[in-house]
Amino acid sequence: MMFRSLDEMTPQQVHQLYKLRVDVFVAEQNCPFNEIDDQDADPETKHILALLDDDTLAGCARVFPTETGSRFGRFVVHPGHRGSGLGPQIVRAGIEYTEQFAGDLIVEAQSGLVGYYEQFGLVAEGEEFLDTGVPHRRMRLRR
C-alpha cells in the first residue's frame, strides 16, 4: 500500500488509477460523469495505491485534509480482486492516514455500502442524497 500525490506517481500509475476508476464508476456502474476532478491534482491529496507484485493496480482510494477534518473517497477495488480482503486493507490504511488531521473523517458512501463502512466505525448521518444519480449517505468517524 502506498500513498502518493499525482506528482509523486509514475505516468503508468496515474494511467492505471484513472482507468480503474473510470472502468468501475463510469462503465460498470453506468454513471457517466467527470470522474477526474481538480481534487485529484491537489498536492495535499494522497492516492492510496494497492499495487500487486507486478505493479498492477488492484485497488485505490484518495484521502485529503479539509477545513474541518479529512475526507476518504473514490474507493474502488478491481473486479478481479473483490472479496480478497484488499478492500478493508485500503479503508483501514485511509483511516489510519487521516488520523494526522484534526477533526472528523467524512465519507460520502454509496447507500449500499453503509453497512460496509459501519464496520470501521463510521456512522451514517443525514438523509440519503443523489450523487451522479446514485444514492449516497454521508458518514462520519468522530475523532
Q: Is the pLDDT of residue 32 over 80?
A: no
Q: What is the pLDDT of residues 74-123, one digit of tens each?
A: 999 999 999 999 999 999 999 999 999 999 999 999 999 999 999 999 99
Kindly state which CATH superfamily the domain 2-141 is placed in.
Gcn5-related N-acetyltransferase (GNAT) (3.40.630.30)
Q: Is the dihedral of CA 16, 97, 119, 53 positive or negative?
A: positive
pLDDT at residue number 18: 96
Coil/strand/helix, residue 88: helix
Residue at 129: amino acid letter: F
pTM beyond cutoff 0.75: yes
The cell numbers describing 34, all together, are 467527470
Averaged pLDDT for residues 40-56:
96
pLDDT at residue number 107: 97
3-state secondary structure 31-66: CCCCCCCHHHHCCCCEEEEEECCCCCEEEEEEEEEE
Q: Is the pLDDT of residue 3 over 80?
A: yes
Answer whether 60's CB lies under 8 Å from 17's CB.
Answer: yes
Answer whether 66's CB lies under 8 Å from 106's CB.
Answer: yes
pLDDT at residue number 29: 87
Report which DSSP code applies to 14. Answer: H
Sketch the domain layout of the chain as residue ranges. 2-141
